[in-house]
Amino acid sequence: MLVVKLDNTPSALPHAGLKAADVVYVEEVEGGLTRLAAVYSTQVPTQIGPIRSARISDMELLRQYGRVAFAFSGSQAKLKPVIASAPLFDVSGDRSGAGYWRQKGRSAPYDFFGNGVSLLARAPQADKAKDVGFRFADAAPAGGRPVATVSGHYPATSINFTWDASLHAWRAALGPRPYTAAEDGSAVAPTTVIVQYVAVRPSGYGNSQGGVTPLSVTVGSGNALILRDGQAWDAQWSRPSADAPTHFTVGGADLPLAPGQVWVLLENSRAPASTG
């Protein structure tokens, strides 16, 4: 399994390889902006990017997937020994340039791309897909309420989704700008969106500009909002340890997600998403 860290600012759009991800996590970073962690198992594209640096939140988040191949463009010095001791395979550009290149027509740092097949080949012992708590079903469960839009709120940006019945999926947008595929211009539209409300606190890490890196706490429990089939369910999430899967439940039972791509917004519990 391959996990790739991606930039998530307007300068990064459009992304390459994002539509092929099985799961996309949205994480808060310095300055109230966000980055993406894209998980690849079913399909592994030969072009993914723009790739950016790792954060401390990734260490806890990714443990539930086992020992993944983790692709990123670097990290602050204080984080390097943490990554080195983490149960993952570091296939970053720091360790080797194999599988990476600078994309023509893009300015740095938004030009760093990778070949997912080549990067995964650098970690032949990486774990395959495993149970991370998701359950899927074609039919939507009972109890949902109709929802046409949902917006996840971060201090300096928003991630927005609009239900598209013709696609049977949620069209994604970064603020007002739609996510589209660099390959063909088509819409990035997950079938399921999960807003996972987490504690977000200062981590003790920071960037070179003096920004404090937030830590999104993904072990424990809390509330969630699950959206599929143009409907929403108020749910709960639970993950008792870093090695355990995350279960999303309603009334104590796992809520089945729609087959297809899943986006998980790790959102501060003090800044709830809005729906319309």
The tens digit of pLDDT for each residue in 75-107 reads 888 999 999 999 999 999 999 999 999 999 999
Question: How far is it, in rounded angstroms, from Cα 154 to Cα 195?
Answer: 12
The mean per-residue pLDDT over the stretch 156-172 comes to: 98
pLDDT of residue 76: 86
CA of 17: how far to CAs of 3, 13, 57, 157, in Å? 12, 12, 22, 22
Identify the H or E element spanning 86: none
Percent residues over pLDDT 70 in the chain: 100
Contact by Cβ (8 Å): 190, 169: yes
Closest CA relative to residue 142, chosen from 251, 264, 259, 23: 251
Q: Tokens standing for 72? A: 């990123």
Residue 232 confidence (pLDDT) above 90: yes
Q: What b/e readout covers 112-141, taking b as 16+ CB neighbours within 10 angstroms?
A: bbbbbeebbbbbeebbeeeebebeeeeebb
Please indicate, yes or no, whether the overall pTM of this predicted structure exceeds 0.85. yes
Identify the H or E element spanning 178: strand 177-178
Average the pLDDT over each of 187-191, 207-211, 257-261 and give the range with the smallest value.
Answer: 207-211
Residue 261 confidence (pLDDT) above 80: yes
pLDDT of residue 207: 73
Q: For residue 66, what pLDDT band results from cuts at 50, 70 and 90? A: very high
- What is the pLDDT of the chain when averaged over all its residues? 96
Contact by Cβ (8 Å): 121, 101: no
The mean per-residue pLDDT over the stretch 148-174 comes to: 98
The mean per-residue pLDDT over the stretch 240-244 comes to: 97
Residue 210 confidence (pLDDT) above 90: no
Q: Tokens standing for 138? A: 């074609």
Closest CA relative to residue 255, chosen from 204, 213, 192: 192
Contact by Cβ (8 Å): 164, 174: no
What backbone torsions phi and psi does residue 147 show, to the nearest 5 degrees? -140, 135
